[in-house]
């Protein structure tokens, strides 16, 4: 294919996902048909099916797009120079804010998240692993600079992410929104304290 037709293919795929996401948010995943999406784009359903095997594949593409936006922002913060502790705070706060904006707030979004967790579970797990690795990179930077003292980087990254589930997981964000609990800054303080150098003679993990 020539460069121009490759771009048109990519653009069309993107346009389908943009329209699909809007319709899923407005009328819900179950009620949206491939014909609805095609009609919005003034193309035939057959043309949509050239790019996606099924409605499920479209949903997976929308989920991948939303998660990709969070991953790009996370990577940007991890790649910056400067002390690790403030960047870890910014990274975690950003993930919380972006997940809240994308996935929490109305029943249509709840429906999208539930479907993603049931049908696109591979995509969700890959995303969580990438976020954990990004957080792990910042922790490694902090350990190298002496800001953090960490026996096992992989375990520290897994525990830090697990400790933030209430602020990262769309279903937990929604459930615990107006319930008593620590603020996100208090939780991040708690995690930073765990990563910080120990007093001599204190219990080592």
What residues make contact with its own copies under the rule CB under 8 A?
85, 117, 125, 129, 147, 149, 155-156, 158-160, 162-163, 165-166, 169, 171-172, 175, 179-182, 186-187, 189-194, 196-200, 202-203, 205
Q: How far is the CB of 19 from its own copies (least distance, A)?
A: 31
CB of 24 to its own copies, least distance (A): 22
Toward its own copies, which CB reaches closer, 42 or 179? Answer: 179
The neighbour count for residue 39, using CB atoms within 10 Å, is 15
Q: Coil, helix or strand for 204?
A: coil
DSSP assignments along 81-114, one per residue: -S-HHHHHHHHHHHHHHHHHHHH-SSHHHHHHHH
Q: Give the rounded distance of the alpha carbon of 70 from its chain centre.
A: 5
Q: Is 64 or 166 the residue whose CB approaches its own copies more closely?
A: 166
Tallying the residues shown for the chain, one arrives at 205
Q: How many C-beta atoms lie closer than 10 Å to residue 111's C-beta? A: 16
Find the shortest distance in angstroms from Cβ 190 to its own copies: 4
By beta-carbon proximity to its own copies, the closer residue of 33 and 175 is 175
Q: How far is the CB of 10 from its own copies (least distance, A)?
A: 32
Q: How far apart are CA 20 and CA 45, in angstroms?
A: 13
Residue number, 53 or 146, with CB nearest to its own copies: 146
3-state secondary structure of 132: helix
């Amino acid at each position: 294919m020539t460069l121009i037709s490759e771009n048109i293919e990519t653009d069309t795929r993107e346009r389908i996902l943009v329209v699909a996401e809007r319709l899923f948010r407005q009328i819900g995943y179950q009620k949206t048909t491939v014909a609805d999406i095609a009609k919005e784009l003034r193309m035939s359903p057959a043309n949509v099916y050239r790019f996606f095997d099924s409605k499920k594949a479209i949903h997976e593409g929308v989920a991948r797009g939303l998660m990709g936006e969070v991953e790009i922002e996370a990577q940007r913060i991890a790649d910056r120079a400067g002390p690790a502790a403030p960047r870890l705070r910014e990274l975690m706060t950003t993930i919380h804010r972006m997940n809240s904006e994308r996935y929490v707030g109305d029943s249509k979004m709840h429906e999208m998240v539930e479907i993603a967790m049931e049908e696109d579970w591979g995509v969700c797990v890959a995303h969580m692993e990438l976020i954990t690795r990004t957080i792990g990179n910042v922790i490694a930077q902090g350990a190298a600079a002496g800001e953090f003292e960490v026996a096992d980087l992989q375990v520290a990254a897994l525990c830090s992410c697990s400790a933030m589930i209430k602020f990262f997981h769309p279903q937990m964000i929604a459930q615990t929104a107006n319930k008593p609990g620590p603020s996100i800054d208090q939780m991040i303080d708690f995690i930073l304290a765990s990563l910080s150098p120990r007093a001599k003679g204190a219990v080592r993990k």
